[in-house]
Amino acid sequence: MRVILAAGTTETALIDGISAAGAAPELMAQTPSADVEILEYGRPTVSPVTPVSPTGCPTPAAVTRAVRDVVDFDLTIVDAGLARPTGSPTVDLEVPAGTDVREPTAVADAAAIFERAREFGASLPDEALLLGETVPGGTTTALGVLTALGEPAGVSSSLPDNPLERKERVVETALEASNLEPGACGAEPLAAIRAVGDPVQPTIAGIAAGALESGTDVTLGGGTQMVAIAAVLRHAGVDEPLSLATTSFVADDPSADLEAACDRLDCELTVTDPGFDGREHVSMQRYCAGEAKEGVGMGGVLSLVPDGEMSAVRDRFEAVCARLGID
Ligand code: AAM
């Protein structure tokens, strides 16, 4: 199994109060670069900070790294629009950082990115791929794309209280700035991303399309951002089987309504509970309170943990948090 993590940024994350994927708005652009270092090395290397939410909840990269210490999988990191340097080795598909969706164009070369990613996905020798993301503001851009496609699906949030109305206002402004009505891009999913999406979306959708074409199994590892990718693929006419693997934290979020979305998009859903409620550990309790919930492939890699090994993952998560200096 190869895990591919697409890491990128969108200026949309700077909008006040829409994301907790960084301690402060000016740190959001740093989060994906640091996330991929945590996956690779177990802690940030050239990145100056460990990504935490404003309340101190550690990035889901810490959970994914903990799983990596227990389950063997290959890992490839794709630069899907990083805005800061990273010390991790990355595949370069020439993906620039994304613009604020409230500008007329959010991802200028969405179609070209999709094509390059598709070639990359088709070239891989693996039998199965698990695709993950890190892009602060990603649930807002997911809502943008779902709305432009005319899909009724809701989105989750890295915040315990989903600022859904704020996101809806952003998406409304974004569609107006692009001269689009909701549902206008139903037949043109890459136009939806170009107008109101983020650069991670055409990267993951392209890799998935290329891999599926060449007979590789694809699982989307994530929550409602991956629902948006599944919608892009279905609207692009991709009809191969698709799976989505996420955490119980997203599955339990009523604003996500994940099961209905997966049903509609003909996507097999796997939900994994890491059992964090059984431990007196501050960070695990934060996850149980609905902070962070998912990201950096967390739900996907949790689905790879064999029966009986989840307590080892929790032990490793405690060790990763201790190394990062987080409770
Ligand atoms: C990624 N890195 C993170 C993080 N994510 N570091 C700390 N907390 C997170 N939740 P939103 O739309 O609310 O910003 O949520 C999406 C982001 O949260 C994504 O980057 C996802 O990978 C996760």
| Nearest to 37, CA basis, from 52, 47, 23, 28 | 47
Show the tokens assigned to 321. 């948090």
pLDDT at 81: 98
Shortest-distance atom of ligand 1 to CA 32: 2
Mean pLDDT, rounded, of the chain = 97
Q: Which residues of 124-141 are buried (b: 16+ CB within 10 A; e: fewer)?
A: bebeebbbbbbbbbbbbb
pLDDT at 35 over 90: yes
220 and 301 Cβ atoms separated by less than 8 Å:
no
Higher pLDDT, 25 or 150: 150
pLDDT at 245: 98
| Nearest to 151, CA basis, from 233, 222, 72, 70 | 233
Distance CA 296, CA 299 (A): 9
Distance CA 69, CA 67 (A): 5
Within 6 Å (CB) of ligand 1, which residues are found? 19-21, 31, 35, 51, 53, 59-60, 133-140, 157-159, 292, 295-296
pLDDT at 41: 97
pLDDT at 153: 81
Distance CA 84, CA 49 (A): 12
Shortest-distance atom of ligand 1 to CA 138: 12
Q: Tokens 């099961």 identify what position?
A: 259
Q: Which residues partner with 272 through β-bridges?
A: 247
- Side chain identity at residue 232, one-letter code: V
pLDDT at 67 over 90: yes
| Nearest to 224, CA basis, from 280, 272, 273, 156 | 156
With a pLDDT cut of 70, the percent of the chain lying above it is 100
pLDDT at 204: 99
pLDDT at 75: 98
Shortest-distance atom of ligand 1 to CA 134: 22
